[in-house]
Structure formats: C-alpha cells, structure tokens
Amino acid sequence: MAGFGGQGPLSKQFWYVYILKCSNGTIYTGCTNNLEDRINRHNAGEVIATKNNLPVEIVTFVAFTDKYKAYNFEKYLKQGSGRAFSKRHFH
C-alpha cells in the first residue's frame, strides 16, 4: 500500500474510511489519514477493538479529501441503514 497517507505522487491529504475482516469473521470499520500505518497497527495488536481477532485483512476503503466527510461516512456505515449498505456492497 505504498503511497497511502498523503505521500508519494499524490500531494493532497486523504482521509480513508476502511472496512476490515477480522480472523473471527467480524467486520471492523474505521477512519484514518494514514491507511498503511493504521492497518499495520491493527495487525500489530495495537488497536483494542481488533487485537483479539488477528490477523485482519482489508475488505475495501474509500478515500476522501475532506476529513469531516470521511468521519461522517464512517459514522453512517456504523449505523442501521449504513450497516445494511456495507453488508450489501462490501462483505
């Protein structure tokens, strides 16, 4: 995943909403501005929500140029209709 997190040929800062599949089959949704580092932190057991269900693998991610739109989309995916949308399209 080299080049994520606003580095490399893309100079604009991106925010990523990502969906992970944990080793026990559960799904985790999160948001970060450095996707590669965040996935590495998940798999290193540094994220409380996923540390007991390692390894995790990325299912999908969406990049945003607006931090607040990213966090709002993450919030949407964690709620009722957003959870249903996520299951239909990403799992």
Per-residue model confidence as pLDDT tens digits over 37-85: 999 999 999 999 999 999 999 999 999 999 999 999 999 999 988 888 8
CA nearest to 63, candidates 50, 1, 82:
1
Q: Give backbone dihedrals phi and psi of 19, rounded to 5 degrees, phi first.
A: -125, 130
Tell me: domain 15-90, CATH 3.40.1440.10, correct?
Answer: yes
Q: Give φ, ψ of 16 to 5 degrees.
A: -115, 130
Q: What is the pLDDT of residues 3-50, one digit of tens each?
A: 555 455 555 799 999 999 999 999 999 999 999 999 999 999 999 999
